[in-house]
Chain A
Amino acid sequence: MPADDLIELRDICFSFNNTRSILDHADFDLRRGERVALTGPNGAGKTTLFHIIMGLRKADRGTVRILQNTCASEQDFAAIRGRTGLLFQDSDDQLFCPTVMEDVAFGPLNLGASDADALEISRKTLHDLGLSGFENRITHHLSGGEKRLVALATVLAMQPEILLLDEPTTGLDQDVEIRLIKILQNLPQAMVIISHDHAFLKQVATRQIRLQNGKLVSDTPQ
């Protein structure tokens, strides 16, 4: 396996309650520096694929290798979760601390940072995203766009090597979307982005894949 493979999925099968097959011997690779767009019809299993990569759902068969580690048990996944950042579809799921600052500091604290370091990292992350001054805002009083950016900050504060973004632009107005595009273009991390917004993907992604009938197929426009 080449050293720059960040995610390697081989022969992944997944079904809900053994009835509806979602993933059918799917293969996927993510290399350093790539920004992959993942498209597909509603209910095709794009979010499920992310959950399998994070170890939140278990594949029926197949191997998951993240950052050169084969992940099978909860412990394996727990070890790499700090290095892979997942942005959830609904930011309300992701922001569970009362204030923005605590939410952003939550990840670094769990990764063993000291109080002072966690505050420093959080402040810097918020500043980098243009969210300075949001530290003491109440998470559930934020607007939809602000929530999304703060959720992104909570993920970035863990300084992950891979980003998985689940429909990052849904519900955002044009201004916030443009801001998000700029942010994503400037991030060094390799990322996979689920979205139905083709104009957005065109500006951000380096290649496109499509999830269809349980398989991942290349869909990069020629």
Chain B
Amino acid sequence: MTKNSILTPAGKLTAGNRTDKLDPRVRITATIILAITVVSFASWQAVTATIILALFMMAFSEPDWRKSLHRILAMDGFIVATLILLPFTYPGDVMFTLWGFDASWQGLYRAVMIALKANAVMCGIIAFLGNMSSTELGRGMTGLYLPIKLTTLMMFTVRYIDVLHHEYLRLRQSMRARAFRLKTSRHSWKMIGYLVGMLLVRAHERSERIIWAMKCRGFHGHYHFARLPRLSRRDFLFGLAMLAVWAALITLEVLCPPMI
């Protein structure tokens, strides 16, 4: 599970690349702006330019390529069903007919655009936030005055997804130890139901014990993060460069009318 998580644990930071010297606040802001801009683009030229730029920046941040590819594919796998169905559900000029359903060119265009935009955002996130530790992300979020609840929720997710996953594996192992094999049978479904139920009950009980443990240490409802230092020259330069790129992308969008 840790392998697939968006965040690299602090202990395994690959030092030496260029983006992780930047302030987390600047990186988070850049990611959010890039994501919002690319999602609102309508012309394919601007979207293609963004994805090329995101790929370029991803290369610049020297991520763990295998892991990054894995993440991108995981996201693509998630939206692929929508993309395949889109040409059939979007009205427009007929491209071909399959079992009486018309696929439209306009639908295909939409699907391609969505795929490009999603991948551009994903590459941007990997480039800017991929090698950031969860603590840094938390600090950056607090520094940007994002809701404390959101930050707290994020920190808990990072910490406990792994614990829950281990709990699941333990339960699954104990089932296997008693010769349980997953089959398409009533018995199988019932046992998986028990497994999920047990996982929920345990998660609930654990959450109670955690809040107790936190209260015992004087928790008042929010995390304390160490303050971030003031922005450096490097951060301002990066911010300026990003603004220039952003302006260029918007100009491209304005100059190129949407194809459909």
User: Which residues from chain A sit less than 8 Å from chain B, CB to CB?
Assistant: 51, 54, 56, 78, 81-82, 84-86, 88, 90, 92-94, 96-99, 102, 105-107, 109-111, 115, 118-119, 136-141, 154-155, 158
- Are B159 and A139 in contact, with the CB atoms below 8 A? yes
A78, A82, A92, A99: which has the most chain B beta carbons within 10 Å?
A92
Q: Which 4 A-B pairs have the closest CB atoms?
A: A110-B218, A109-B224, A107-B217, A93-B209
B156, B159, B213, B223: which has the most chain A beta carbons within 10 Å?
B213
Interface size on B, residues (CB 8 A): 29
Beta-carbon nearest neighbor of A107 in chain B: B217
- At the interface, yes or no: B64 with Cβ under 8 Å from chain A? no
Question: When chains A and B are docked, how far (Å) is the Cα of A96 from the Cα of B154?
Answer: 12
- Are A137 and B11 in contact, with the CB atoms below 8 A? yes
Not counting A90-B209, A93-B206, a sample of 10 additional A-B residue pairs whose C-beta atoms are within 8 angstroms of each other reads A82-B217, A88-B212, A92-B163, A98-B133, A102-B135, A109-B224, A110-B220, A115-B224, A136-B10, A158-B217
- Are A88 and B10 in contact, with the CB atoms below 8 A? no
Given contacts A51-B212, A136-B11, contact A158 B159 (CB under 8 A): no
Question: When chains A and B are docked, how far (Å) is the Cα of A96 from the Cα of B152?
Answer: 11
- Are A115 and B159 in contact, with the CB atoms below 8 A? no
Question: When chains A and B are docked, how far (Å) is the Cα of A39 from the Cα of B68?
Answer: 52
Q: Can you give 13 contacting A-B residue pairs, CB < 8 Å?
A: A54-B212, A56-B215, A96-B155, A96-B156, A98-B159, A99-B11, A106-B219, A106-B223, A107-B218, A119-B226, A138-B10, A140-B159, A155-B217
Q: Tell me which residues from 104 to 121 in chain B have a Cβ below 8 Å from any Cβ of chain A.
A: none
List the A side residues contacting B219 at CB < 8 Å: 106, 110
Question: When chains A and B are docked, how far (Å) is the Cα of A92 from the Cα of B213?
Answer: 10
The A/B interface has a contact count, at CB < 8 Å, of 89
List the A side residues contacting B212 at CB < 8 Å: 51, 54, 56, 88, 93
- Are B226 and A115 in contact, with the CB atoms below 8 A? yes
List the A side residues contacting B210 at CB < 8 Å: 93, 96
- Are B159 and A96 in contact, with the CB atoms below 8 A? yes
Q: Tell me which residues from 6 to 33 in chain B have a Cβ below 8 Å from any Cβ of chain A.
A: 9-11
List the A side residues contacting B218 at CB < 8 Å: 78, 81-82, 107, 110-111, 158
- Are B10 and A99 in contact, with the CB atoms below 8 A? yes
Closest chain-B Cβ to A154's Cβ sits at a distance in Å of 7
Closest chain-B Cβ to A151's Cβ sits at a distance in Å of 9
- Are A81 and B159 in contact, with the CB atoms below 8 A? no
Given contacts A93-B206, A102-B135, A136-B10, contact A88 B224 (CB under 8 A): no
Closest chain-A Cβ to B52's Cβ sits at a distance in Å of 34
Closest chain-A Cβ to B226's Cβ sits at a distance in Å of 5
Given contacts A96-B156, A99-B10, A115-B227, contact A88 B213 (CB under 8 A): yes
List the B side residues contacting A110 at CB < 8 Å: 217-220, 224
Question: When chains A and B are docked, how far (Å) is the Cα of A141 from the Cα of B213?
Answer: 20
Given contacts A81-B215, A138-B9, contact A98 B134 (CB under 8 A): yes
List the B side residues contacting A137 at CB < 8 Å: 11
List the A side residues contacting B160 at CB < 8 Å: 96
List the A side residues contacting B215 at CB < 8 Å: 54, 56, 78, 81
Given contacts A81-B218, A98-B10, contact A93 B226 (CB under 8 A): no
- At the interface, yes or no: B93 with Cβ under 8 Å from chain A? no
Question: When chains A and B are docked, how far (Å) is the Cα of A109 from the Cα of B225?
Answer: 9
- Are B216 and A106 in contact, with the CB atoms below 8 A? no
